[in-house]
Amino acid sequence: MRAFLLDGYGAIDDHVKLTDVADPIPGRHDVLIDIHAASLNPIDFKIVRGDLKRVSKYQLPRTFGFDASGVVLAAGAGVTRFRPGDAVYVRASRETIGTFAEKIALPEAFVALKPANVSHAGAASLPLVGLTTLQGFGKVGARAGQRILIHAGAGGIGTFAIQYAKHIGLDVTSTTSSKNADFVRSLGADRVIAYDRENYLEQGGGYDIVYDTLGGAFTIDAFKVVKRGGAVISLSGPPDRDFARREGAGLLVRVAVWLMSRKVYAASEAAGGSYCWFFTEPSGDQLREIAGLVESGAIKPVIDREFAFDQLPAALAYLEKGHARGKVVLKMK
């Protein structure tokens, strides 16, 4: 089969190569999926650049990519939920990435039936952003009536998070550019702050939750607008202090994580808020929940642009510019 391999860290055009590799062989509890579409996420170009080497180092060369939708070709002897011909979608784990390929074998526990009312491209756009949002909101106990600030509401995470937050009854404020303000309102945001016209730090605070999708100064500044007892969920900030313990990391990594996160924790303690950072985990059960929300109309996939399979380097470069409205999708079929 054809697959994109990452053969080193650095520039996309230098290290992302389309090549022929052996077909994957499913294990006893795996399903072999013929991939029809895969979606891109910022973590993909961060892996290529080597940004995550400290916390998630890979032996290269290897395939990569997290999200996919396709059709089951074969199922291991221990698989009970799927059979050949089923249309499914999936989010791979950090250890099993490889959706930028024509086929992939993954544990059935990661897999769910594709939402029946969307295309493979639409389904492929959902797993990582959906699971990240459900798991993040779950970790901080998000509930109806709370106020949430979602940064970058027009992006891949933001477009899903706004819809999901409204579905569970949150009051949603989102930042975006003025050109995307009406679009973000159409997703359900109760209030939109156009960052190119106004400073969100000057527009009031008291949020129960801040969903930090941007990192950098935004992670520290989140504690200026979260209320005491509130929570900052960060997808791009430094690892939290429990990360090294959860990963069984050595002393050097533990010290590095402490140094990376010290400013965030100082801001957190001063504000009386909590800091939540995590790696998204695959979950077929939660994908089934998301499929139900899509089929009911509560969530609609948002796709900015589709690229042909052999255009992955161009798709990664486009996503890296940071202007995509919704998700960027790679179509194999």
What SS3 class is residue 264?
helix
Average pLDDT for the chain: 94
Quick check: pTM over 0.85? yes
Res 110: pLDDT:
98
Cis (ω within 30 of 0) for the bond into 61?
A: yes
Percent of the chain with pLDDT over 90: 88
- Which structure tokens are listed for 249? 């990391």
> Average pLDDT for residues 112-123, to the nearest whole number?
98
Tokens of 321: 């510019």
Spatial CA neighbour of 76 closest among 41, 26, 19:
26
What is the arithmetic mean of pLDDT over 186-206?
A: 96
List, in order of start, the domains of the chain with CATH numbers.
2-126+301-331 (3.90.180.10), 129-277 (3.40.50.720)
Q: How confident is the model over 16-65, as pLDDT tens digits?
A: 999 999 999 999 999 999 999 999 999 999 999 998 776 677 889 999 99
* Rg, the chain, Cα only: 20
Confidence class of residue 248 from pLDDT cuts 50, 70 and 90? low
253 band by pLDDT with thresholds 50, 70 and 90: low
Whether 116 has a pLDDT exceeding 70, the answer reads yes
